[in-house]
Amino acid sequence: MRIAVLIVSFFSACAAMASEFDHPWNNPESAIVIDAYYANSIDWELLATEPRVVGIIHKATIGAKKIDPGYLTRKKEAKKRGYLWGSYHMGIAGNPEKQADYYINTVKPAANELIALDLEDLNSTRHMNANEAIRFIKQVKKRVGRYPVVYSNHSNATIISEKFKNTVFAKTPLWYAKFSGRVNDFPAGAWSSYTLWQFSSELLAQKAIPGTQADMDVNVFNGSLDDLRAKWPLTGRAPCQKRSEPPKGFRSAQLTRVDDSK
């Protein structure tokens, strides 16, 4: 009997994982988050017609000197309309502590506002590398008492999971970027799963969001709308959880593009 229970548990876990990585945004119960920068247009009235979009993460700072020119205006409008709010910092090479201080001093995050580090290319001499990212994460934790979400594409996540899985990365929630409908090779190690999955952008537009153009980055949360509201600002790691199954008869369908400069 014990063996039978273990077998059932194993296959239930596998089914949950498969659901997480197979077009989860097509499940009408999954929460959606958009992430924008100043050049992404938003028609707020049309955006409000999509009830699954409950959160917005906006580009805030780059390095230790630059702020996105649309950040403050967008934040004011989004919070007035009741959206969960978050910001991200684009990490560049050099002095991660100074960058972390600049980011935190600029956005002054409230306790209910998500904070994130955008890692574009760990192998680039222009962008923040993994060791610098670790220092940035530690400085943010020192400043605000919580870990930032880490944005990472598949290549970066693979490097982190292979070489840095026993570092502070393992304490951060993962914002995973991969533009495909199904993922069969998630680089588990530092993370067992994603918290947010950026699946749609101008590179591959997989879901249209009312009030936005095809260049908008779109993310699915690893859970329901209620889950997202309860866990925001996502300061903990994502559990390997069983997702709600789509309604009977619901069929997964791919709809129809990331700008590394964002």
pLDDT tens digits for 101-123?
A: 999 999 999 999 999 999 999 99
Q: What is the mean pLDDT of the chain?
A: 87
Q: For residues 168 and 151, give the distance between their C-alpha atoms in angstroms, rounded to a whole number.
A: 14
pLDDT at 239 over 80: no
How far is it, in rounded angstroms, from Cα 254 to Cα 2?
40
Distances (CA, A) of 132 to 67, 120, 157: 20, 13, 15
Share of the chain above pLDDT 70, in %: 83
Domain 2-231 has CATH 2.60.40.10: no
Rounded Cα distance, 91 and 127, in Å? 6
The pLDDT score that the predictor gives to residue 202 is 87
The better pLDDT of the pair 129, 15 is held by: 129
Instruction: Give the pLDDT of residue 190.
Output: 97
Confidence check: pLDDT of 5 > 80: no
SS3 258: coil
pLDDT band at residue 16 under the 50/70/90 scheme: very low
Q: Which has the minimum average pLDDT: 14-23, 31-40, 138-147? A: 14-23
Cα–Cα distances in Å, from 152 out to 129, 191, 194, 232?
12, 11, 10, 19
> What is the structure's pLDDT at 204?
87
Going from N- to C-terminal start, the domains of the chain cover 2-231
Q: Are strands 53-62 and 149-153 parallel, antiparallel or unpaired?
A: unpaired
Structure tokens at 161: 């999971």
Summarize the confidence of residues 84-100 as an average pLDDT.
Answer: 98
Predicted confidence band of residue 40 (pLDDT cuts 50, 70, 90): very high
pLDDT category, 236, cuts 50, 70, 90? low
Pairwise CA distance, residues 101 & 78, whole Å: 24
pLDDT at residue 257 greater than cutoff 90: no
pLDDT in tens, 178-226: 999 999 999 999 999 999 999 999 888 999 999 999 999 999 999 999 9
Band (135; pLDDT cuts 50, 70, 90):
very high
First to last CA, the chain: 54
Instruction: Tell me the pTM.
Output: 0.85
**How far apart are alpha carbons 160 and 152 in whole angstroms?**
9
Q: Which two tokens stand for residue 173?
A: 């929630």
Give, for 85, the enclosing helix (H) or strand (E): strand 84-90
Average pLDDT over residues 139-159: 98
Minimum mean pLDDT among 5-9, 21-25, 190-194: which range? Answer: 5-9
